[in-house]
Amino acid sequence: MENDLPRRREAEGLSQGELAEVVGVTRQTINAIERDRYDPSLDLAFKLAAHFECHIEDIFQPEETD
Amino acid sequence: MLDTLTPGTDESGQARRVYYRVVYAIFAIAIVGLLAGMVTGRELLGTIIYCGGAWIGSGITFLAPKLTDVPLQDERDTELYNRASGLTLGVLFVLGLSVIPAIYVLEAAGRIDPPPEVTGAILLASGLFLLWGVAYGIVKRR
């Protein structure tokens, strides 16, 4: 799953740790999501979307396959 | 840029680090205590240290996440544990499936006489799979 979490986070001037605190996970989890190494649960995706005041699909997009 | 962790605020990170250090230190002391007891001939003392450490460490692991708002473990940790557990069981299952029937057949044919350690290991693996099956059934129905 691709995402533009780093761009949105940096646009708000948040560190990974600060965003992690806001949505109630660890900094390592935010880092893993940003590096496309972990797909968040639906619950966490909703929390991130709520924080950035957008829809989940605005942040996360399925990887395009050939 | 994304390969590095950005610094956080980072009280929760600090709490998480302290939590893991304390838990790992307790388990390390327990294991070292047991080994030291075996080496020095004070098995009872070593066992007491080990049991104490194991209970205290397990207690902290179980209770600490419930007693604090700081996310000591989160959904990714849970997924990593689940994947590691699944991989461990998968390896054990493949090894068990390929080895245990062969040992039974060869033993029945009088070709081998497995030592008690092998029999114990087979029983342990069988018990582990049985426990996993029971746990799976419980989790599935809850």
pLDDT tens for each residue of B31-71: 999 999 999 999 999 999 999 999 999 999 889 888 888 77
Domain annotation covers residue A66? no
Q: Could you give the ipTM of this predicted complex?
A: 0.82
A16 burial level (CB within 10 Å; 0-12, 13-18, 19+): buried
Query: Would A23 be classed as within a structural domain?
Result: yes
List the domain range (segments joined by +) for residue A10: 2-57
Tokens of B66: 């419930």
Domain count, chain A: 1
Q: What are the phi and psi torsion angles at A10 (to 5°)?
A: -70, -30
CATH number for A10 = 1.10.260.40
Mutation site, B76, B80, B82, interface A, largest A CB count within 10 A: B76
Alpha carbon distance B78, B56 (integer Å)? 21
Asked, for residue A9, whether it belongs to a domain, the answer is yes
> How far is the C-alpha of A44 from the C-alpha of A5, rounded, in Å?
13
Q: How do residues B85-124 score in pLDDT, each as one tens digit?
A: 999 989 988 988 888 888 889 988 999 898 999 889 888 8
Helices and strands per DSSP (H, E), number in chain B: 4, 0
Q: Is residue A33 domain-resident?
A: yes
Provide the mean pLDDT of chain B: 87
Interface of A with B in 18-57 (CB under 8 A): 18, 20-21, 24-29, 31-32, 34-35, 38, 40-41, 43-44
